[in-house]
Structure 1
Amino acid sequence: MTISMQDLVLNWSVSHLVACVAGVIVIRVLFRKYATAIRDVPGPFWASFSSLWRVYRTCKGHIENDILDLHRRHEGFFVRIADNEVSVSHPDAVKQLLHTNLEKGTFYSIFSLPDYRYVNQMSELDPTRHIHKKRSLAAGFSITNIAKAEPYIDNVLSLLRTRFDELCKSGAPVEFQNWFSYYAFDVLGEVTFSKSFGFVESGSDIRNAIANTGALVYYIALMGNYIWFHNLTLGNPLFSWLGLQPNSHIFDTCLIAVDDRKNNPKVRHDMMQRWLDTRAAYPNRLSERDVFAAAVANIGAGAETVSTAAQTVLYNLLRNPHLLKRARQEIDEAQSRGELSSLIQYNEASQLPFLQACLKEAYRTHPGVAYNLPRISPKGGITIAGRYFPAGVILSVNPWVIHRNAEIFGADAETYNPDRWLREDTKTMDAYLIHWGAGYNSCPGRNLAQFELLKVLATVLRDYEVELLESHKDWEYKTRFLAVPYGWPCRIRRRQTKTA
Structure 2
Amino acid sequence: MAVESGLLQLCNLINIRAWNILLLLLVICYVIYVRYGTPLRNVPGPFLASVTRLWKLRKILSGDFEWTNIDLHGHYGPIVRIGPNEVSIDDPDESLGIIYGHGTKFTKSPWYQASDAPGQHSIFTDTDIARHARERRLVANSFSMTSLAALEPYISDCVQVLETRLFELSKENAVVDVGHWLQCYAFDVIGEITFAKRFGFLDRGEDIGNIMNVLDGFLSYSSWMGVVPEFHAPFTKLMSTFFADGAPLESLRRFASNVVEKRQASETSHPDFVAHFLRIHNQKPDQFPMSEVYKMCMVLTGAGSDTTAIALRAVVYFLLKSPDKLEKLRSEIDQRDMAAEVSKPVTYSEAVSMPYLQAVLKEAMRLHPSTGFTLGRVVPAGGVVLLNHFIPENTVVGINSWVAHRNASVFGEDVESFRPERWLESEEATKRMDRYFLEFGTGSRTCLGKNISLMEMSKLVPEIFRIFDFDLVDRKKPWHTVNWWLVKQTGLLCRVRVRKNSRT
Looking at structure 2, the residues matched to 117 and 271 of structure 1 have their Cα atoms a distance apart, in angstroms, of 26
The C-alpha deviation readout for 1:243-281, integer Å capped at 9, x for no partner, is 311233422221221121122112523112212211222
**Counterpart residue type for residue 385 of structure 2:** T
Match of 1:488 among 492, 498, 501: 492
Q: Give the superposition deviation at 1:238.
A: 5.0
| Alpha carbons of structure 1 residues 409 and 262: separation in structure 2 relative to 1, 3 Å | same
**Counterpart residue type for residue 105 of structure 1:** S
Q: Is the 8 A contact 1:140 1:272 kept in 2?
A: no
SS in 2 for 1:471: coil
Identify the residue that residue 351 of structure 1 maps to in structure 2: 353
Looking at structure 2, the residues matched to 386 and 158 of structure 1 have their Cα atoms a distance apart, in angstroms, of 54
Matches within 5 A, 1:244-259: 244-259=246-261
**Counterpart residue type for residue 376 of structure 1:** V
Q: Unpaired segments of 5 or more residues in structure 2?
A: none
**Counterpart residue type for residue 79 of structure 1:** V
Q: Is the 8 A contact 1:116 1:235 kept in 2?
A: no
Looking at structure 2, the residues matched to 204 and 326 of structure 1 have their Cα atoms a distance apart, in angstroms, of 34
Looking at structure 2, the residues matched to 108 and 306 of structure 1 have their Cα atoms a distance apart, in angstroms, of 21
Would you say how many aligned residue pairs link Structure 1 and Structure 2? 497
| Alpha carbons of structure 1 residues 24 and 385: separation in structure 2 relative to 1, 3 Å | closer
Higher mean alpha-carbon deviation, 424-433 vs 22-31, is at 22-31
SS in 1 for 2:266: coil
Higher mean alpha-carbon deviation, 195-204 vs 336-345, is at 336-345
Identify the residue that residue 306 of structure 1 maps to in structure 2: 308
Identify the residue that residue 85 of structure 2 maps to in structure 1: 84
The C-alpha deviation readout for 1:295-334, integer Å capped at 9, x for no partner, is 1111111111111111111111111111010111111111
Identify the residue that residue 226 of structure 1 maps to in structure 2: 228
Q: Is the 8 A contact 1:167 1:492 kept in 2?
A: yes
SS in 2 for 1:286: coil
Match of 2:468 among 449, 464, 468: 464
Match of 1:332 among 334, 338, 341: 334
Looking at structure 2, the residues matched to 191 and 282 of structure 1 have their Cα atoms a distance apart, in angstroms, of 23
| Alpha carbons of structure 1 residues 465 and 347: separation in structure 2 relative to 1, 3 Å | same
Establish whether residue 270 from structure 1 lines up as the match of residue 263 from structure 2.
no
Identify the residue that residue 163 of structure 2 maps to in structure 1: 161
Q: Unpaired segments of 5 or more residues in structure 1?
A: none
Identity %: 31
* TM-score for the superposition, normalised by structure 2: 0.94
Match of 2:343 among 331, 341, 344: 341
Looking at structure 2, the residues matched to 417 and 11 of structure 1 have their Cα atoms a distance apart, in angstroms, of 68
**Counterpart residue type for residue 351 of structure 1:** S
**Counterpart residue type for residue 85 of structure 2:** N
Looking at structure 2, the residues matched to 386 and 20 of structure 1 have their Cα atoms a distance apart, in angstroms, of 38
Matches within 5 A, 1:71-470: 71-74=73-76, 76-91=77-92, 92-100=94-102, 101=104, 102-112=106-116, 115-234=117-236, 242-425=244-427, 426-470=430-474
SS in 2 for 1:81: strand
* TM-score for the superposition, normalised by structure 1: 0.94
CA RMSD in angstroms comes to 2.1
SS in 2 for 1:414: coil
**Counterpart residue type for residue 435 of structure 2:** A
Establish whether residue 478 from structure 1 lines up as the match of residue 479 from structure 2.
no
Q: Is the 8 A contact 1:185 1:197 kept in 2?
A: yes
Q: Give the superposition deviation at 1:162.
A: 1.3
| Alpha carbons of structure 1 residues 240 and 354: separation in structure 2 relative to 1, 3 Å | farther
Higher mean alpha-carbon deviation, 19-28 vs 403-412, is at 19-28
Looking at structure 1, the residues matched to 293 and 257 of structure 2 have their Cα atoms a distance apart, in angstroms, of 12
Looking at structure 2, the residues matched to 107 and 498 of structure 1 have their Cα atoms a distance apart, in angstroms, of 49
Looking at structure 2, the residues matched to 461 and 135 of structure 1 have their Cα atoms a distance apart, in angstroms, of 38
Q: Is the 8 A contact 2:123 2:296 kept in 1?
A: yes
Looking at structure 2, the residues matched to 167 and 237 of structure 1 have their Cα atoms a distance apart, in angstroms, of 41
**Counterpart residue type for residue 87 of structure 2:** V
